[in-house]
Amino acid sequence: MALARVLRLWRTARHLRAEQVAFRLYFRLAKPWVRHRALAAVGEAVRRPWLASWLAPLIGARSHVELGEFEFLGERGNLAAMRGWNSPEKAKLWLYNLHYLDDLNAADADGRGEQHAWLIDRWIEGNPALAGNGWEPYTLSLRIVNWVKWFARQTAIPQPWLDSLARQAQALLVQEERHILANHLFTNGKALVFAGAFLGGDIGQRSLRRGLAILDREIDEQFLADGGHFELSPMYHATLLWDLCDLLNVAGCSGVATLTERIGHWRGVVERGLSWLDAMCHPDGEIAFFNDAAFGIAPSPLAVRAYAAWLGCTLPAGDAGDACAARHLADTGYVSVSLPANGKAIVDVAEVGPAYQPGHAHADTLSFELSLFGQRVLVNSGTSQYGEDAERQRQRSTQVHNTVEVDGENSSEVWAGFRVARRASARDVSVGRAGPGDLLVYGAHDGYLRLPGKPVHGRSWCFSGKSLRVLDRVSGRYGRAVGRFFLHPAVAVENDRLVLPGGEVVRWSCSGGRAAVVPSTWHPAFGVSVPSRCLEVSFEAPEVTMVFSW
């Protein structure tokens, strides 16, 4: 067992970049030096003059519900009762949300100025420099941006607030998350740009210069040619699109030359990203659930589109007509299929994510989601929590996605909270016509080649105007293969009929396997588990076909 753990760690770590390893050692071995640099003298902070006050949509739900009373992830907490900002009684993710101070930019924020002034004062008093969760680089990053947005709507800022902002920017400068990279480093860069755009003097210049150096590298690396974010999570994609809109906005409000000269490039990335986001949304307007994804964490696609349009970005056209048509997002590895009568399918023939940071990946290769008549019918599990417990492991596993599990193993070796060892790789992907009006998508993956019989799962989806045929084949030797098709909780099962909320009926049939309806759960938001059902098909032949017709 010890050897197995060592091998799994090696298979995970061997994909890391050299800078990730170097910075992990830096943070572990050079803590006194990091602390010394973070606490070095900053000087009195000054506010940089802007062309205009910050103006942007305020969309987040109110989280500071009463004075000192907070609600995150469906759970409440009182600052006094918790005895401070780093209570051991609360989960780390809840405490992270507490330190973000997102409430400064919630939907009704501008009517609660006194409450927010109290909140900022309490945070400064209760969080001495480098003490606790609030001084970790990710929480620093989100709070810095929230402070700058709120400060930039005020006519006067007390000097202790400006000085605290400067100290936080300096602490972030020496704690860039280069051991993690991906969306974390992007978020660090955005925060440093916001701090640098708002603060004058040396700390402002250093923050701006460093933030732009990060973003100049990371934007082009993280947003692929088809517009999608390379971590392959629609939720994180929407979050980072909002971040890019914020960058466009701060460039215009501040008038800082080094920002305004990047507006054209940033706008192009946003516009391509909007097109990808549209492709990855269901007819209900919300994101599909691939990899870590849930409602209520990222801004909604509707809100992202509205913000981008307000900033002058060109929005993508909607899906074309009633024809059965596919859009192959080849760089990210998804296929978005528009179906008649307000239907849509989204197919995953993607890699697990960037090789050096697949932390938000699920073992969901060759899974798909399906909407018909504007209603979600087949859904992946969603994400209700982070952490490292059994439920987190289950929600990342192959067994809760619309794909095939072989011999009880995951297609990719997801482990811990955000780790992946051996990864499934998609192969032989094709998208084309199977006949007049029909569309065929095919893909296979090698994730099970590590098993003794070296099985390979291949799947084809054949779409017509009123049916979908899913053919699964598992080649090689194996003991048991199970295909699963998870139903949205609003879909009723009546023998071979799926009855949608609007009364529409979808018939299903199975050949090559033994089908059963089993209980399951769906996780559309953090802290939420909704009872649902699953069509579970045990293979009795090398090929199994599921047909859905409507």
pLDDT digits (tens, 9 = 90+) for 385-409: 999 999 999 999 999 999 999 999 9
**Interior/surface letters 332-344, b for 16+ CB within 10 angstroms, e for the rest:** bbbbbbbbbebbb
In a domain, 320, yes or no: no
Mean pLDDT for the stretch of residues 479-488: 98
* Separation CA 444–CA 403 (nearest Å): 11
On whether the CB atoms of residues 338 and 161 are closer than 8 A, the answer is no
Predicted confidence (pLDDT) at residue 74 exceeds the cutoff of 90: no
CA dihedral over 273, 279, 284, 290, signed as positive or negative: negative
Alpha helices in 384-467 (DSSP H): 390-396
Mean confidence (pLDDT) of the chain: 96
Taking only the tens place, the pLDDT of each residue in 280-313 is: 999 999 999 999 999 999 999 999 999 999 999 9
Is residue 523 classed as helix, strand or coil in its secondary structure?
A: strand
For the chain, percent of residues with pLDDT exceeding 70: 99
The predicted model scores a pTM of 0.96
Predicted confidence (pLDDT) at residue 166 exceeds the cutoff of 90: yes
Residue 103: half-sphere exposure toward Cβ, Cα within 13 Å: 26
Predicted confidence (pLDDT) at residue 156 exceeds the cutoff of 70: yes
Is residue 348 classed as helix, strand or coil in its secondary structure?
A: strand
Mean pLDDT for the stretch of residues 204-224: 98
Predicted confidence (pLDDT) at residue 548 exceeds the cutoff of 70: yes
Predicted confidence (pLDDT) at residue 1 exceeds the cutoff of 80: no
Predicted confidence (pLDDT) at residue 113 exceeds the cutoff of 80: yes
In a domain, 109, yes or no: no
On whether the CB atoms of residues 15 and 356 are closer than 8 A, the answer is yes
Predicted confidence (pLDDT) at residue 515 exceeds the cutoff of 70: yes
In a domain, 254, yes or no: no
* Separation CA 283–CA 345 (nearest Å): 10
pLDDT at 437: 78
Predicted confidence (pLDDT) at residue 494 exceeds the cutoff of 60: yes
In a domain, 478, yes or no: yes
Predicted confidence (pLDDT) at residue 25 exceeds the cutoff of 80: yes
Mean pLDDT for the stretch of residues 22-51: 93
* Separation CA 535–CA 271 (nearest Å): 38
How many whole angstroms from its chain centre is CA 529?
A: 19
**Residue 405 domain boundaries:** 325-549
Mean pLDDT for the stretch of residues 167-179: 97
For residue 267, CA distances in Å to 4, 309, 416 come to: 47, 11, 37
Number of separate domains in the chain: 1
Predicted confidence (pLDDT) at residue 410 exceeds the cutoff of 60: yes
pLDDT at 436: 79
Predicted confidence (pLDDT) at residue 477 exceeds the cutoff of 60: yes
Helix (H) or strand (E) holding 463: strand 456-463
**Is the backbone of residue 471 left (phi > 0), alpha (psi -120 to 50) or beta?**
beta
Contacts of residue 548, Cβ cutoff 8 Å, sequence gap at least 6: 370, 377, 467, 468, 469, 470, 498, 506, 507, 508
Mean pLDDT for the stretch of residues 493-516: 98
In a domain, 531, yes or no: yes
Contacts of residue 7, Cβ cutoff 8 Å, sequence gap at least 6: none
pLDDT at 405: 98
Contacts of residue 90, Cβ cutoff 8 Å, sequence gap at least 6: 75, 77, 82, 98
On whether the CB atoms of residues 203 and 172 are closer than 8 A, the answer is no
Mean pLDDT for the stretch of residues 237-264: 98
In a domain, 61, yes or no: no
pLDDT at 179: 96
In a domain, 520, yes or no: yes
CATH number where 490 lies: 2.70.98.70
Taking only the tens place, the pLDDT of each residue in 305-342 is: 999 999 999 998 865 555 789 999 999 999 999 999 89
pLDDT at 322: 59
pLDDT at 341: 87
In a domain, 518, yes or no: yes
